[in-house]
Amino acid sequence: MIIKDKAIKYGSNVDTDVIIPARYLNTINEKELAAHCFEDLDKEFAEKVKESKIVVAADNFGCGSSREHAPLAIKASGVKLIIAKSYARIFFRNAINIGLPVIVNEQAADDISEGDTIEADLDKGEIKNISTGMVYLTKPFPEFIQTLISKGGYVNYVKDKFDKEN
């Protein structure tokens, strides 16, 4: 799968309270969640994401609460990919489980500037910064996680497995 889009850039410790504040956790409607995504961090996000659908951040992206509403809100807002130096572990699991691609790459996360055009090949683990010509290679996911992604997330994986066993 190849994703090509422009980057929105954030710093370290982007926490779940700024991704989707708890005061909006009165719904599991993805569109309603998306309407408030990143609003306490970046009031321009809703405008930016119309043009730029790759979020690039530094360390510990998604730290804080276990709310799966955070990756859901990001995905429903139109973001196609996140590239960060590192993720908080619950956020990382949640993103994989709902099928939001999350890549770890320190160098790319450092180098990419807001507005750069990025092309990422998820199968090869290759990130190209079209704006600067730089290319970055990422470590592939462990096999089990690749299986989850290829099944389209955890719900489909379990459904598939459960149907076969019964």
Per CB under 8 A, residues contacting other proteins are: 13, 15-18, 21-23, 25-28, 40-41, 59-60, 63-69, 71-72, 86-90, 93-94, 97-98, 142, 144, 153-155, 158-159, 162
Strands (E), the chain: 2-9, 54-57, 81-84, 102-104, 117-121, 126-129, 135-137
State the Cα–Cα distance between residues 114 and 102, nearest whole angstrom: 18
Report in angstroms how near the CB of residue 72 gets to other proteins at its nearest: 8
Report in angstroms how near the CB of residue 39 gets to other proteins at its nearest: 8
Report in angstroms how near the CB of residue 62 gets to other proteins at its nearest: 10
Nearer residue to other proteins within complex by CB, 64 or 78 = 64
- Do the strands 54-57 and 126-129 form a parallel or antiparallel pair, or are they unpaired? unpaired
State the Cα–Cα distance between residues 140 and 134, nearest whole angstrom: 19
Nearer residue to other proteins within complex by CB, 46 or 134 = 46
Nearer residue to other proteins within complex by CB, 85 or 128 = 85
Residue from 7, 45, 11, 10 nearest 132 by CA: 7
Nearer residue to other proteins within complex by CB, 63 or 127 = 63
Report in angstroms how near the CB of residue 25 gets to other proteins at its nearest: 5
Nearer residue to other proteins within complex by CB, 132 or 146 = 146
State the Cα–Cα distance between residues 84 and 106, nearest whole angstrom: 7
State the Cα–Cα distance between residues 17 and 116, nearest whole angstrom: 27
Report in angstroms how near the CB of residue 2 gets to other proteins at its nearest: 26
